[in-house]
Amino acid sequence: MRESIRRICLLDRLLDVIWPRRCEVCGRPSDRSARYICSDCLNRIAFIPVNGCCRRCGRDAVGLDGEFLCEDCRVFRPGFDRVASAVRFDGEARELVNAFKFRSSMWLRNDLVDWLEGVLRARFRIGEIDLVLPMPSTTARLWNRGCNQCGVLARPLARRIGKPCGRFVMRRKGRPRRQGGLGEAERRENVIGTFAVVRPSQVRGRTVLVVDDIMTTGSTLSECAAELKRAGASRVWCVTLARSLRS
């Protein structure tokens, strides 16, 4: 394993020399090995602060330090125990996440997994995670995009933190309407009963980390986590690349 990683690193360095990567944002050669976002552009990305966030849904509040429990989490009690997101779904970060999610720009994977790993190490006790799970795709989306993008992020993320990544543990069922354009209450209604845990023995009594791309109101993550809890998971933590400004 270590040998193959070393070989990949060497290949990356060789590629940097013979075929320099261009920054996905500004188009200049990237100054970061094996990465498609240069350091200048990376410095302009709107990362979410790791302090002053709701300890459950991860919403940040200007001027607050430390952790708190926000009004929404007190009232609606989401199914997850903790969520943290790397960036605001805005500006260049929005373009990059959309390029990965909708235009299959798979080469951005290493850069985006860096963001996930950063927020994970800052906001979670990694040693307590037992299993990493990608947010499952609906069948229609799998057909459209050819693969589950969350799986593309979850597998290398799990490898980096030395945890197993579950496959076919959970699936989507039924055909929920698209969440886009729905209000908060409708979103919550729309996702009820749309997840099924196929292998409950893999989650029973465990702390599960769900990896998703964009969090808007959190209703999909909440329902996913609630289903994992019904299947016996002891804690469900979630990490997402981006958080929409609407939440």
Q: How far is the CB of 145 from Zn ion (least distance, A)?
A: 26
Give helix then strand counts, H and E, for the chain: 9, 6
40 vs 189, which CB is nearer to Zn ion? 40
Those residues whose C-beta lies under 8 Å from the C-beta of residue 143, and which sit 6 or more positions away, are none
Q: How far is the CB of 85 from Zn ion (least distance, A)?
A: 12
Q: How far is the CB of 227 from Zn ion (least distance, A)?
A: 20
Residue 218: C-alpha distances to residues 57, 111, 121, 188, 213 (Å):
8, 24, 21, 9, 12
73 vs 86, which CB is nearer to Zn ion? 73
Secondary structure of 116-130 as H, E, C letters:
HHHHHHHHCCHHHCC
User: In angstroms, rounded to a whole number, what is the distance separating the alpha carbons of residues 146 and 202?
Assistant: 26
Q: What strands lie across the sheet with 131-134, from one edge to the other?
A: 82-88, 235-243, 207-215, 131-134
40 vs 128, which CB is nearer to Zn ion? 40
User: In angstroms, rounded to a whole number, what is the distance separating the alpha carbons of residues 67 and 175?
Assistant: 37
Q: How far is the CB of 243 from Zn ion (least distance, A)?
A: 12
107 vs 232, which CB is nearer to Zn ion? 107
Q: How far is the CB of 15 from Zn ion (least distance, A)?
A: 18
41 vs 215, which CB is nearer to Zn ion? 41
213, 60, 82: which is closest to 149 by C-alpha? 213
Residue ranges binding Zn ion (CB under 5 A): 23, 25-26, 38, 41, 54, 56-57, 59, 70, 73
Q: How far is the CB of 194 from Zn ion (least distance, A)?
A: 22
22 vs 230, which CB is nearer to Zn ion? 22
User: In angstroms, rounded to a whole number, what is the distance separating the alpha carbons of residues 166 and 151?
Assistant: 10
